[in-house]
Amino acid sequence: MQISTADAWRVLRKLKFELSDCKHHVRGFFTLDGKKLFPVHFSFGNKDLPGNVPEKFRKSLYLSEAEIRELFACHIDRLRYEQLLRVRGVLPPGKTFGSKTA
Amino acid sequence: MMDTMLETDESTVIALVVDDNKRVLKAKRELLHDQGIITFGVTNYHDAIREFRSVPRVDMVITDINLSTDELYSGKDTSGATLAQVLRAISSELPIYGYSAIFAEGQISDELSGAFTAYYPEGKLTLDQQLEYAVAWKAAAVQHRDQRLERAKHELERLKASYQMPDPNYSTLRDLTPGSGPTEDQDSIEEVLERAGYRIKLIEPGGARPRIDGAYARTRGPIVLWIRESGGITIAEVYAYPELYGHGETEERAIADVLLLMDGYANDLQGDDASSLDPKVLRLRNYLNSVLEV
């Protein structure tokens, strides 16, 4: 699937990633309870992320193809995303709702 | 500068030559060129530092001891002896030779001369002396180069070994490597990546790298990269950290992209308390600190 840099930027903000950017990259960390858990990034320079970079971007978010489509269609918010990460074992089991974010 | 970043032909010897007299500089470079040495020539202290940091690999430095003071930096000692001290602090084994074209003007204290591998304050050298010295300089540079390459190869082997054990995260790597397909658990990471069309590339310790602030720095390295063409672009990934990847239309640009990313992450994580980082991110920071000069 094609992912534009604008869309990538939008979903990372929506998922409340802690982001920093410079001329070349947008870098971010998924943060929970003030703890940086995993990194994600994409590069500027193309309207759409090139080659297999969209695939890498998707996998760095720990999402399936169907889920990332849902994400871009605005059907996945931060809370739902946390649930998905718990299912995948990226986040430890714990309270599902109302967890404290960054 | 990036175009030459990884042009590391192991058979070449690279020398940085510093002299504020352009005629002498040209003569020195020709002398070394006749010995089969590739040279970069500069005429002052500041250009020498900048060039040393941006040339991919310098096997030796030959400098005039009495470099003229740059007016822009008046008040700061920009002699060849100071240059030698600065470079010596960066590399304890780099062959650095100093000379003075004028007899006795090159006399310096023992403390300052200690930074040089050898120095020649006796004034103008005869052609025979210069040839004799050039041969000796080249021999020292070749030895220095070979030692560095040997260390880099050992470090590469060590990295490969450490990645194979005790607990490589095969599933993550496969997940993040499109096209690798289903594989047996006992396959090595190298086999998986080679099957997926990747090839390995090494940036030696001391190689030049871009920084996000626009400057260049040298790697503490070595940095192992996996390179792969994908849909008309090149992807460069950092060995052991499949999350770190860059892309560009050429291999050099892809490598520069991933190095910039690494520098950015190193900056992002530099001030963080270890307790605020997941072990995975902490490991990433430790890795970046071990290969980059932060």
DSSP B192-252: HHHHTT-EEEEEPTT-EEE-TTS-EEE-SS-EEEEEEEETTEEEEEETTEEEEEEEESSHH
pLDDT (tens digit per residue) in B164-222:
433 445 455 444 444 444 444 545 666 667 777 778 788 877 778 888 888 888 888 77
A39 and B235 in contact by Cβ < 8 A?
A: no
**CB nearest B265 (choices: A27, A51, A52):** A27
Residue contact A36–B261, C-beta within 8 A: no
Kindly state the average pLDDT of the residues B142-157. 77
A56 vs A84: CA distance, rounded Å: 18
Q: Tell me, what's the pLDDT at B149?
A: 76
Share of chain B above pLDDT 90, in %: 14
Give the separation between CA B158 and CA B288, rounded to whole angstroms.
17
Closest C-alpha among B291, B293, B288, B149 to residue B222: B291
- pLDDT of B162: 52
Query: What was the ipTM of the complex prediction?
Result: 0.86
Mean pLDDT of B75-83: 79
Give the full edge-to-edge strand order of the sheet including B60-64: B37-42, B13-18, B60-64, B96-99, B118-120
CB contact, 8 Å: B71 with chain A?
A: no
**Which of B1, B71, B79 has its CA nearest to residue B40?**
B1
Determine contact, residues A102/A31, Cβ cutoff 8 Å. Answer: yes
Using a 10 angstrom Cβ sphere, with 0-12 exposed, 13-18 middle and 19 or more buried, the burial of residue B236 is: buried
* Interface contact flag, A38 B281, Cβ < 8 Å: yes
pLDDT value of position B158: 64
Q: Which residue of B has its CA nearest to A23?
A: B212
Among chain A, residues having any CB pair with chain B shorter than 8 Å are 20, 22-25, 27, 29, 34-41, 43, 50-53, 55-56, 59-60
Report the pLDDT value the prediction gives residue B9, as an integer from 0 to 100. Answer: 55
| Residues 148-167 in B contacting A (C-alpha not used; CB under 8 Å) | none
Confidence of residue A24 (pLDDT cuts 50, 70, 90): confident
pTM reported for the whole predicted model = 0.58
In this structure, the number of other CB atoms found within 10 A of the CB of residue B106 comes to: 22
To the nearest whole number, what is the mean pLDDT of chain A? Answer: 84
A42-82 pLDDT, tens digit per residue, is 887 668 888 878 888 888 898 888 999 999 988 899 999 99
Q: Is the pLDDT at B127 greater than 70, yes or no?
A: yes
Of A29, A43, A52, the CB nearest to B281: A29
CB contact at 8 A, B94 and B144: yes
pLDDT value at B15 more than 50: yes
Extract the tokens encoding B270: 């530099």
Per-residue pLDDT tens digits for A25-42: 899 999 998 899 999 998
Q: Give the separation between CA B81 and CA B66, rounded to whole angstroms.
A: 8
Mean pLDDT of chain B: 77
- Start-end of H helices in A1-102: 5-14, 53-60, 65-72, 78-87
User: Tokens representing B251?
Assistant: 């291999």
Q: Do B268 and A29 count as a contact with CB atoms less than 8 A apart?
A: yes
Give dist(CA A4, CA B138) in Å, integer.
53
The pLDDT value recorded for residue B182 is 44
- pLDDT tens readout for residues B32-68: 988 889 888 999 888 898 888 776 678 899 998 888 7
Confidence of residue B146 (pLDDT cuts 50, 70, 90): confident
> How far out from the chain centre does Cα B53 lie?
7
Chain A CA closest to residue B273 = A35
Q: Between A23 and B266, whose confidence is greater?
A: B266
